[in-house]
Amino acid sequence: MKFSGWPEKGELVVGEIDEIADFGVFVDLDEYENKRGLVHVSEVASGWIKNIRDHVDVEDRVVAKVLEVDEDAQQIDLSIKDVNDHQRSEKIQEWKNERKADNWMTLAFGEDVSDDKYIQVAEALYAEFGSMYDGFEAAAIHGEEALEDTDLPESDVEAIVSTARENVSVPYVTVTGYVDLSCPTPDGVDSIREALGAAEGNGEVPGEAELDVSYVGSPEYRIRVQAPDYKTAEDELEASADRARESIETAGGTGSFHRERESDDE
């Protein structure tokens, strides 16, 4: 998506150098429709520049800082030297992410999606999440719930969620804890087996979390949870341990939860 407006002073922009002159370089801005900026030779690199072509080439993709914007004169002044390596890396990643999101919009709404539809959805995602990419990522993690406040039609929400879950690589975190389960009753083995089933959620663990329970060494069992964020992972870990403890205690046994491994066995 290309913005139809103008960049703001101080903003970082991505563009491609399309012309080099002795006094500076012209940059075609990738994120703005029909916008071109000028980097004066003094803003290309630090220090004295003998030959500007020793520092940049036509078709180089650069990250530049907006120094001034004069809409009346149709002029955008840029600086390449004022962008440090960290800023450059972050901005390029952001730009790449938005290009991915632009492709996902096409997958969600078709190659013939109208400009009005595209802009409506894009503006809703920007307003709620700050970028289309973050909107798709939230949809992949939390489903339709993530888009409740966007006021998008249900059909649009379903299209975004379906596309996001098929295409977005979601970052996951993993947390681990342990439960000790024991039951002295004659059917204690069955009771422990039921408690482990309860720990695993009996098939009802939330879709955004993956949970695995494994044997460590009597009476210890490991619970490992993978989820999109630490809060979700920690909540599910605690819920899993609580289910196991309640199940075994109901059967006349005892259960306890701890974060560190206690047995000597690997």
For each of the chain's 266 residues, which pLDDT tens digit applies? Answer: 677 789 999 999 999 999 999 999 999 999 998 999 999 999 999 988 889 999 999 999 999 999 999 999 999 999 999 999 999 999 999 999 999 999 999 999 999 989 899 999 999 999 999 999 999 998 988 888 899 999 899 999 999 999 998 898 877 888 899 999 999 998 889 999 999 999 988 656 556 778 889 988 889 999 999 888 778 888 899 999 999 999 999 999 999 999 876 654 44
The predicted structure's pLDDT at residue 60: 95
Under 8 Å between Cβ of 6 and 65: no
At 169, phi and psi to the nearest 5?
-85, 110
Assigned token pair, 95: 């730009």
Q: What is the pLDDT of residue 247?
A: 93
Tell me how far apart the alpha carbons of residues 133 and 154 are, in angstroms, rounded to a whole number: 19
Write down the pLDDT at residue 100.
Answer: 94
DSSP, res 7: P
Domains of the chain: 12-82 (2.40.50.140), 86-167 (1.10.150), 173-258 (3.30.70.1130)
H or E element in which residue 146 lies: none
Contact 172, 216 (CB under 8 A): no
C-alpha distances in angstroms, 242 versus 175, 182, 260? 16, 15, 17
| Token pair in block for residue 97 | 């992410």
pTM over 0.75: no
Query: How far does CA 135 lie from the centroid of its chain?
Result: 9
Torsion of CA 55, 8, 139, 173, to 10 degrees: 50
Say how far apart CA 252 and CA 180 lie, in whole Å.
Answer: 14
154 burial via Cβ count (<10 Å: 0-12, 13-18, 19+):
exposed
d(CA 42, CA 49): 8
User: Is there a contact between 179 and 223 (Cβ–Cβ < 8 Å)?
Assistant: yes
